[in-house]
């Protein structure tokens, strides 16, 4: 008989399995963390965060500072009605360069309004799903958990 190492992860696995209509055993837990939380893999092509309401808010707050480059590009393109997408840059810049730009944006924000102001404002407009569900920007609820598809 398998022992349950982490009851919280067990419950999250059960909720995700119910949402996907699969056996919980086919879901693999990530070894690392994203925004402070472990994800689940369903096969090789799907990954999900399964979080409580408060965990989802904390993860989204963390995601704001990690995705500043993305937020800035999306905002600029939308404001000026430019037909381009932030993902267009991914094949043209190295991850290291994007992280450097993101760090510089963090510095600008910390020295103006502060990151907390930006986080609060973004979340007050319901952007949690946009920050956490990279695949479809959707927030699904199953058995009291919020599910976000990463890819």
pLDDT along the chain (151 residues), means of 10: 76 99 98 97 98 98 96 94 91 94 97 96 96 97 99 97
> pTM of the predicted model, to two decimals?
0.88
Per-residue pLDDT, 87: 87
In this predicted structure, what is the pLDDT of residue 98? 95
Quote the distance between the C-alpha of residue 65 and its chain's center.
11
Domain boundaries, the chain: 7-149
Contact assessment for residue 60 and residue 37, using Cβ atoms and an 8 Å cutoff: no
Whole-number pLDDT of residue 2 = 52
In angstroms, rounded to a whole number, what is the distance separating the alpha carbons of residues 8 and 16? 12
pLDDT score at 1: 46
> What pLDDT sits at residue 93?
93
């Amino acid at each position: 008989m398998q022992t349950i190492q982490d009851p919280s992860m067990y419950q999250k696995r059960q909720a995700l399995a119910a949402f996907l209509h699969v056996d919980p055993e086919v879901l693999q837990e990530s070894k690392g963390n994203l925004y402070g939380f472990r994800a689940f893999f369903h096969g090789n092509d799907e990954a999900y965060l399964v979080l409580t309401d408060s965990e989802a808010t904390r993860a989204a707050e963390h995601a704001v500072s990690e995705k500043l480059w993305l937020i800035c590009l999306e905002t600029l393109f939308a404001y000026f009605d430019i037909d381009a997408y932030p993902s267009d840059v991914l094949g043209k810049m190295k991850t290291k360069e994007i992280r450097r730009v993101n760090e510089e944006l963090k510095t600008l924000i910390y020295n103006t309004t502060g990151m907390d102001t930006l986080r609060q404002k973004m979340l007050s407009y319901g952007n949690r799903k946009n920050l956490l569900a990279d695949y479809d920007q959707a927030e699904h609820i199953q058995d009291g958990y919020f599910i976000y598809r990463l890819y």
